[in-house]
């Protein structure tokens, strides 16, 4: 089903301003960005409408323009994220991460946590592992163990307190 150029022009003239307002207001975009998005939506619509009939062109264009706007916002958010840029501060952070004293301290802390977990009652340790390492919810852990969610929370809280207590009482040169 091929759509005529006249129908495309008519569709564009009918819905362009409405789409521009929708995109710029809903997604807080500048006029230029909204125009680009509407242009892209019409271009995609044109390529699709040439091969297949679209029942509600207006709804299709609005959905397509909204998706284009969301994609733009995601790209902007991703590029603006502080983790996506390197700086002199990050370079110095990398140097600190490779610092032998920091590595030694981290190994000490890991060793202390391992000892604390080994000293825990088996059920407490198991629930902590399921929660923190397997990312299971307390509800799922409770169902699997046949106990209440409150009991699971209590076991995990005590496990975390055990680790905190071990870390607080860790001698400086234990490892």
Could you tell me which of 101, 98, 93 has the C-alpha nearest to residue 172? 101
Same domain, yes or no, for 73 and 101?
Answer: no
Shared domain check, 112 and 46:
no
117 and 155 both lie in a single domain:
yes
pLDDT score, position 122: 94
Would you state the pLDDT for residue 2? Answer: 60
Is residue 12 domain-shared with residue 79, that is, in the same domain? yes
- CATH code, 21: 1.10.1740
| 77 in any annotated domain | yes
Its domain, for residue 53, covers 5-83
Q: What is the pLDDT at residue 102? A: 81
HEC secondary structure over 123-160: HHHHHHHHHHHCCCCHHHHHHHHCCCHHHHHHHHHHHH
How many folded domains does the chain comprise? 2
Look at residues 34, 60, 83 and tell me which one is the last residue of a structural domain.
Answer: 83
Contact present, 22 and 65 (Cβ < 8 Å):
yes
Question: Taking the complete model, does pTM exceed 0.95, yes or no?
Answer: no
Residue 159 neighbours by CB distance under 10 Å:
23
Whether 118 and 156 map to the same domain: the answer is yes
Same domain, 21 and 73: yes
Q: Indicate whether 116 and 164 sit together in one domain.
A: yes
For residues 21 and 79, state if they share a domain: yes
Do 77 and 11 belong together in one domain?
yes
Q: What is the mean pLDDT of each run of 10 residues along the chain (175 residues)?
A: 76 91 89 91 84 86 91 82 54 65 84 92 93 90 94 93 87 50
Within this chain, do residues 77 and 119 fall inside the same structural domain, yes or no? Answer: no
The pLDDT of residue 175 is 40
């Amino acid at each position: 089903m091929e759509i005529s150029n006249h129908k495309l022009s008519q569709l564009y003239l009918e819905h362009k301003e409405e789409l521009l307002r929708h995109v710029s207001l809903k997604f807080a975009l500048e006029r230029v960005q909204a125009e680009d998005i509407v242009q892209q939506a019409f271009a995609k619509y044109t390529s699709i409408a040439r091969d297949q009939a679209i029942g509600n062109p207006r709804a299709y264009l609005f959905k397509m323009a909204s998706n284009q706007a969301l994609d733009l916002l995601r790209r902007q958010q991703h590029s603006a994220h502080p983790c996506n840029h390197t700086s002199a501060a990050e370079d110095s952070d990398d140097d600190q991460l490779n610092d032998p004293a920091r590595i030694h301290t981290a190994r000490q802390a890991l060793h202390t946590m391992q000892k604390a977990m080994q000293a825990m009652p088996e059920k407490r340790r198991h629930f902590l592992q399921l929660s923190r390492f397997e990312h299971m919810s307390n509800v799922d852990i409770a169902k699997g163990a046949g106990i209440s969610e409150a009991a699971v929370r209590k076991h995990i809280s005590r496990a975390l307190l055990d680790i905190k207590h071990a870390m607080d009482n860790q001698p400086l040169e234990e490892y």
